[in-house]
């Protein structure tokens, strides 16, 4: 494990995205609800 972290890392590219994508993902994640029923879990997307 020591060998993994001691090696020099390659250059990482910066990822960019648009504000619309971020807003969409945030709004989508806010609309998801998990419902527990007996021993099951359901993911529901609210509109």
Question: Is the separation of the CB atoms in 43 and 33 below 8 Å?
Answer: yes
Which domain range does residue 32 map to? 15-47
Residue 5 lies inside a defined structural domain of this protein: no
A 10 A CB-CB count for 28 gives 10
Residue 3 lies inside a defined structural domain of this protein: no
User: Alpha-carbon torsion 15, 17, 22, 28, what sign?
Assistant: negative
What pLDDT sits at residue 21? Answer: 95
pLDDT in tens, 1-47: 566 666 666 787 888 999 999 999 999 899 999 999 999 999 898 87
Query: In 3-state terms, what secondary structure has residue 7?
Result: coil
Residue 1 lies inside a defined structural domain of this protein: no
Question: How distant, in Å, are the alpha carbons of 22, 34, 47 from that of 27?
Answer: 9, 16, 11
How many separate domains does the chain show?
Answer: 1
Residue 7 lies inside a defined structural domain of this protein: no
């Amino acid at each position: 494990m020591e060998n993994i972290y001691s090696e020099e890392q390659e250059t990482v590219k910066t990822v960019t995205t648009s504000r619309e994508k971020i807003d969409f993902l945030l709004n989508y994640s806010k609309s998801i609800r998990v419902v527990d029923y007996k021993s099951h879990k359901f993911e529901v997307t609210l509109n």
